[in-house]
Amino acid sequence: MLLPHSSVQATEVSRPGAARVYDYFLGGMHNFAVDRRMADQVLAVAPWVRDVAHANRRFLRRVVEYLVAEAGVRQFLDLGSGIPTVGNVHEIAQRRARDARVVYVDVDPVAVAYSRELLEGDDRTLVVQADLRDAEVVLDRAGELLDLSQPVAVLMVSVLLFVHDDCQPFELVRRYLGPLTSGSYLGISHVTDEHAAGALRAQTEAVTAAYAAAGTPIVARTHEQIAGFFAGLELMEPGVVALDEWRDGPDTGLADPAIAALSLGAVARKPLSAWQASSRAEQA
């Protein structure tokens, strides 16, 4: 397990961190006792949370592989990235394209400190400590490594659930995609309890209460609301679906459909402008 990092204040490891709790759900070692206590409280009432976390990680892997291999993307902006350990964006992308570049962004100083240590010497990655709600600041910092005149894949994997409605999450997404060139992509996964009923509804409410008590309240949104994040973009098939249904493969498959439906994901592309489309048609 982690030992306190020399650059991190003791107060920063005295309360649970969403990124480290998530790491624990995945079976990782980048978490502290306070994170494990909260995670165990959640698992005691909703043991399926661990399975949903693994489905989220499978979704991330398939999204990055699709964007590199089929869409030709070589630049990634991973918002709310946590600690980029085994199986994260740079590892997946660079396995298929050595020139792929990744900017990781997280507000948690603990996650940032360990991320920088893990990625030290990798000149194709950059770790930025910033609040994802400061889109202009994040994009400015991302420009230190990424060429923002070329397509960028913005990844918001299991992070918008921490952005409440009073922070205008739909506008926030537009602030990221607006300045980026056509041909850029957006990948989102997000929790939903829209169809949870009975005991499952009680469990989802207990999970929400646990996160709120830990100081990191979450917001579940409907399918329609999650689809709204992609307004004005070209949704890639199969659209907004349960995570294991998005371009599923042999690694997928939550057995319980009701639990699988608790987290949705999609990928979309920023469309070509009319001028770009006509220019490409003339060149063809």
Specify the pLDDT at position 278: 46
CA atoms within 13 A on the CB side of 144: 12
Peptide bond into 257 cis (omega under 30): no
Asked whether 102 and 93 are in contact (CB, 8 A), the reply is yes
Dihedral sign (CA 88, 185, 254, 256):
positive
How far apart CA 124 and CA 119 sit, in angstroms, is: 9
In angstroms and rounded to an integer, the radius of gyration of the C-alpha atoms of the chain is: 19
Specify the pLDDT at position 89: 94
224-240 confidence digits (pLDDT tens) = 999 999 999 999 999 99
DSSP state of 255: S
| Mean pLDDT for all residues in the chain | 89
Backbone phi and psi for residue 18, each to the nearest 5 degrees, phi listed first: -55, -40
Residue 277 confidence (pLDDT) above 60: no
Q: What is the pTM of this model?
A: 0.90
